[in-house]
Amino acid sequence: MPSHLLRAAALAAALLPCLVAAAPLTLETALDLAVKRSESARAARAGVTSASEAARAAGQLPDPMLRAGVDNLPVTGGDRFSTARDSMTMKRVGISQEWLSSDKRAARQAAAGAAVAREGIQSRTAVVETRLNTALAYLDAFYAGEAQKLTTLMEHHAHEELEAARARLASSAGSSQEVLALIGARGTAEDESAEVRQQQGVAKLSLQRWVGTQADELAPVNALSLPTEQAYVAGHPTVVTKQLDIEVAKQVAAVAASERKPNWTWELSYGQRTGYSDMVSFGVSIPLRVAPSERQDRETAAKLALADKAEAELSEATRAATAEYRTLASDAQRLLERIERYRTGVVTPARQRTTVATAAYRSNQGTLMTLFEARHAEVEAQRKLLALQRDLAKAQAQLAFKPLAQGADQ
């Protein structure tokens, strides 16, 4: 490869980090950064790991028990505390095992599996909440930056017009009243610009809390894909969580119902006697369910009541999610209509007013104060339009990023 091409390649490689750093931060990049550094998402993933490990142990038999002891040890007479003189004294060692039926183990494993699924939804919910909060913070920061551009432009106009008024006063073409009015107008413009910069600083810090870095420039947000009402409700984190709560409660109730049948315990032991034959003992212990209707059945009923509770909560969560979607969709539609009316009825006339005032001033038929007021009115109209656009974008972001179906598996 020629040397000049090598130098060009090396220069491009050296400049690449600077170019990347200077590139505007996009919403997609901000979302990825936020998810990667989210501690709530990491905590939720740890919860899934914990539930998964517990589920692996749920279907296992209890650990066997090692039993050791001495039977019939004399405590009085000449043979007291001797393990080798009395023929009835026996040193014993054995093992016992509580036995759970395959149905009981399957029920416990099913309950643990339902708990794993619920933890998985909690993990996805943590990711969705992180993405939604990041998107809202991004929109606040982006529109604060756009408003800051407008107020900076107005501040620049105020300085220009004040200098022009002073020049006119020096040439006896203007008046001190005009200069004083524009001095006050400049102060107002500077204060408005400072206020918006303060708001922008707060918005950037809020965004930095999620993405970890402070972006100097933010890229505009592309149009978001909005779900239908059915998709929004079906993917709402609370609705999905309540659905899994029902499944968990039913599986736990099944485990409680299986306890109506007792667990048998098998035992085998070996006894050693001095001077006599050793002995082997074996047996089984069976708990007696003397009042299952007062104990086991009531425990099962208590668990089934929790399933009924979860079903009622699911119905309430579905209603709330439906109302939430309709409210957000209605707000978005009304904001679209307001933006169109405001752009046509306020912004366009304000822009035309500025054009007329500029032409009048250039032809010596208008004053600088009139021009400033026209420009200020146009900037204020554009700022109000930005506020409406921001509210619309945030409503749409809540519709797009709230359901689990929207990027929840990342």
pLDDT value for 322: 96
- Topology adopted by domain 23-401: Outer membrane efflux proteins (OEP) (1.20.1600)
Dihedral sign, CA of 364, 365, 367, 370? negative
pLDDT value for 410: 40
CB within 8 A of 104, min separation 6: which ones?
255, 258, 259, 261, 263
pLDDT value for 397: 95
pLDDT value for 17: 46
Give average pLDDT by consecutive 10-residue segment, the chain, 410 residues.
51 46 82 88 82 80 90 86 83 90 86 87 90 94 91 79 67 67 76 85 90 88 91 94 92 87 91 86 89 85 91 95 96 95 94 90 80 85 93 95 64
CB within 8 A of 72, min separation 6: which ones?
86, 88, 89, 90
DSSP string, 224-240: PPPPPHHHHHHH-HHHH
pTM of the model: 0.78
Domain residue spans of the chain: 23-401
pLDDT value for 197: 87
Burial label for 321, CB within 10 Å (0-12, 13-18, 19+), is: buried
